[in-house]
Amino acid sequence: MAFRLPSLQHGSLHLSTSCTACKTVPKNLKGRSKSSQDWLTRQLNDPYVKLAKHQQYRARSAFKLLEIDKRHRLLVPGQVVVECGAAPGAWTQVAVAAVNSLPQAKNKSQGMVIGIDLQSVHPVPGATLLDGRDFTAPQTQLQVLELLNGRKVNVVLSDMAPKASGIKGLDHENIISLAYAALRFAAQNTAEGGSLLCKIWEGFMTHQLISDMKRSFRTVKIVKPAASRGDSSEAFLVAKELFHEPTT
């Protein structure tokens, strides 16, 4: 059966993943663990994986950012974006196009994208990538500030995720600690009115994080884009309109 690729142009992207009749069964599963077999089967049958390949995004995660940005209008040409947890680079691709950092559109302002990841990231034209770096390390953040050369950040994106241990509470605590690192950086280095988009795995610390975000941002919303798998606790916090306390 032919797979028809939907378009992201009109409305939000909701793809059905429940067509069991046309499920692709992977070949060469010999020697693979059960969890690796399940992962491969899921990848082969995931419409966002197919769509990402078709639209030349490095990962299906691109559609999460595209949808959130479409709804919450975070990225515009000319902005400075710091992206934490950039590998393999799908969000970077989306950010580069949205802020025009290549620049693709000569008649629009040129933005800037700096991506950071522990892992190596294949170059993305229009972005400066600090790979092999821990975003939580002070020297990494200093390097980011050097690259900014005095420019304020408009948007901090964090899709950072720790290696999952499978212990829900521990994984939750670890990702929340990465989210706090992004929040601290954003609160200190973002221009008045700026935004923070941050991935979490929901759990007992979610509410505390939201209330801490509200100390720096006028609005904080929790969103789950359609491309975020239904069976995962993944969610995103969209914090907008950063304000700095007036100094007295």
Ligand X SMILES: C[S@@+](CC[C@H](N)C(=O)[O-])C[C@H]1O[C@@H](n2cnc3c(N)ncnc32)[C@H](O)[C@@H]1O
Q: How far apart, in whole angstroms, are the C-alpha atoms of residue 104 and residue 126? A: 9
Contacts of residue 50, defined as CB under 8 A and 6 or more positions apart, other chains included, come to 3, 5
Q: How far apart, in whole angstroms, are the C-alpha atoms of residue 130 and residue 218? A: 30
Interaction between residue 201 and ligand X (CB under 6 A): no
Which one of 68, 116, 129, 237 is in contact with ligand X (CB under 6 A)? Answer: 116
**Nearest CA-CA partner of 68 in 229, 200, 226, 241:** 226
Interaction between residue 147 and ligand X (CB under 6 A): no
Which one of 44, 118, 210, 222 is in contact with ligand X (CB under 6 A)? Answer: 118
Tell the smallest beta-carbon distance from residue 135 to ligand X (Å).
4
**Nearest CA-CA partner of 232 in 17, 86, 6, 11:** 17
**Closer residue to ligand X (CB): 6 or 88:** 88
Interaction between residue 126 and ligand X (CB under 6 A): no
Q: How far apart, in whole angstroms, are the C-alpha atoms of residue 198 and residue 115? A: 14
Strand extents, DSSP E, 59-189: 80-84, 112-117, 127-131, 153-158
Which one of 48, 52, 58, 81 is in contact with ligand X (CB under 6 A)? Answer: 58
Alpha helix ranges (H) inside 47-167: 47-54, 62-72, 90-99, 138-148
Residue 68: C-alpha distances to residues 35, 146, 225 (Å):
30, 29, 7
Instruction: Tell me which residues are annotated as active site.
Output: 199
Which one of 156, 178, 187, 209 is in contact with ligand X (CB under 6 A)? Answer: 178
**Closer residue to ligand X (CB): 123 or 193:** 123
Interaction between residue 89 and ligand X (CB under 6 A): yes
Which one of 44, 55, 110, 134 is in contact with ligand X (CB under 6 A)? Answer: 134
**Closer residue to ligand X (CB): 103 or 162:** 162
Interaction between residue 81 and ligand X (CB under 6 A): no
Interaction between residue 52 and ligand X (CB under 6 A): no
Contact track, ligand X, 10-49, x by CB under 6 A: ----------------------------------------
Cα 147–chain centre separation = 21
Residue type, 24: T
Tell the smallest beta-carbon distance from residue 21 to ligand X (Å).
31
Contact 6, 15 (CB under 8 A): yes
**Nearest CA-CA partner of 150 in 98, 241, 78, 80:** 80
Tell the smallest beta-carbon distance from residue 50 to ligand X (Å).
16
Which one of 45, 61, 206, 216 is in contact with ligand X (CB under 6 A)? Answer: 61
Residues of this chain that interact with ligand X (CB under 6 A) are: 58-59, 61, 84-91, 116-119, 134-136, 159-162, 178
